[in-house]
Amino acid sequence: MKIININDNFDEEVRKYKGISIVDFWADWCGPCKMFGPIFENVSKKYDNIKFCKLNVDENEEIPKEFGIMSIPCIVMFKDGEEIKRNIGFIDEDGLNDFIGDLNV
């Protein structure tokens, strides 16, 4: 699925979304985030039923604060708008596939 930029519309795209979504919290000044970017994009192409989103923590400070994001890269998985798990720190494609796991989606 195509990656969606949700700096301004977290509520519409994630909180109100019925299904699985993953948000990549990132910033320009974060090296491992930049390294993780292409990995997130590659993996997103493999899953049709997961919504892949990116949120820049400099553009939107409120949502990271609400979810207690204090270190990036951080990916958070949501189901029907509720957080179900997260991973802090750089992971490669295998790591991201493991994180997604067997969701039967």
Partner 1 sequence: MYDIIIIGAGPSGMTAGIYSGIARKKVLLLEKEAYGGQILKASCIKNYPGLDNVSGIDYAQKLYNQVKELNIDIKFESALEVKNYDKFKEVITNKNSYKTKTIIIASGAKNRKLGLNNEDKLIGKGISYCATCDGMFFKDKKVAITGGGRTAIDDALYLSNICKKVYVIYRQKEFKFDSINLSNLRKKDNVEFIFNTNIIDINGNEKLESIVLKENDIDDTTTLKIDGLFIAIGHIPVSEMFNNLIKTDEKGYIISNEECTTNIEGIFVAGDIREKNVRQLTTACSDGTIAAINACKYIENEKQTDKCI
Residues in contact with partner 1 by CB under 8 A are 27, 29-32, 34-36, 57-58, 64, 68-72, 74, 88-92, 94-95
Annotated catalytic, 33?
Answer: yes
Annotated catalytic, 53?
Answer: no
Q: How far apart are CA 64 and CA 66, in angstroms?
A: 5
Q: What is the DSSP letter of 20?
A: E
Which lies closer to partner 1 via its Cβ, residue 18 or residue 101?
A: 101
CB of 29 to partner 1, least distance (A): 7
Which lies closer to partner 1 via its Cβ, residue 1 or residue 88?
A: 88
Residue 27, both tokens:
């910033």
Asked if 13 and 53 count as a contact pair (C-beta separation under 8 A), the reply is yes
Catalytic residue among 6, 22, 23, 33: 33
Residue 38, preceding peptide bond in cis (omega within 30° of 0): no
Catalytic sites, residue numbers? 30, 33
